[in-house]
Copies of this chain bind each other. A is one copy, B any other.
Amino acid sequence: MIAILTKNAPDEAVEHLSDWIRGKGLDVHISRGANEIIVGLVGDTTKIDPILLESMDIVERVQRVSEPFKKANRKFHPDDSIIDCGHGVLLGGGFFQVIAGPCSVEGDNLIRIARRVKAAGATMLRGGAYKPRTSPYASQGMGEAGLDLLLEAGSELDMPVVTEVMDPRDVALFLDKGVDVMQIGARNAQNFPLLREVGKTSTPVLLKRGMAGTIDELLMAAEYIMSEGNPNVMVCERGIRTFETRTRNTFDLNAIPAIHHLSHLPIVADPSHATGHTRYVGPMARAAVAAGADGLEIEVHDDPAHAWSDGAQALTPDMFDQLMKDLLRIRSIVAPAKTEA
Complex Cα distance A14/B311, Å?
19
Q: Does A94 contact B (CB under 8 A)?
A: no
Contact B279 A283 (CB under 8 A): no
With a CB–CB cut-off of 8 A, which chain B residues contact A211? Answer: 210, 212
Q: Does A275 contact B (CB under 8 A)?
A: yes
Minimum CB–CB distance from A16 to chain B (whole Å) comes to: 10
Q: Which chain B residue shows the least CB distance to A42? A: B33
Complex Cα distance A284/B276, Å?
21
Complex Cα distance A202/B288, Å?
37
Minimum CB–CB distance from A297 to chain B (whole Å) comes to: 17
Complex Cα distance A43/B217, Å?
34
With a CB–CB cut-off of 8 A, which chain B residues contact A253? Answer: 251, 253, 284, 287
Q: Does A55 contact B (CB under 8 A)?
A: yes
With a CB–CB cut-off of 8 A, which chain B residues contact A46? Answer: 135, 137
With a CB–CB cut-off of 8 A, which chain B residues contact A38? Answer: 2, 29, 40, 42, 65
Q: Does A334 contact B (CB under 8 A)?
A: yes
Minimum CB–CB distance from A134 to chain B (whole Å) comes to: 6
With a CB–CB cut-off of 8 A, which chain B residues contact A49? Answer: 138, 309
Complex Cα distance A305/B57, Å?
8
Contact A214 B284 (CB under 8 A): no
Q: Does A291 contact B (CB under 8 A)?
A: yes
Query: Among residues 252 to 290 in chain A, which have CB atoms less than 8 Å away from a CB atom of chain B?
Result: 252-258, 261-262, 274-280, 283-284, 286-290
Query: Among residues 324 to 341 in chain A, which have CB atoms less than 8 Å away from a CB atom of chain B?
Result: 326, 329-330, 333-334
Contact A286 B291 (CB under 8 A): yes
Complex Cα distance A312/B61, Å?
10
Contact B290 A283 (CB under 8 A): yes
- With most chain B CB atoms within 10 A of its CB, the pick from A215, A254, A333 is A254
Contact B55 A244 (CB under 8 A): no
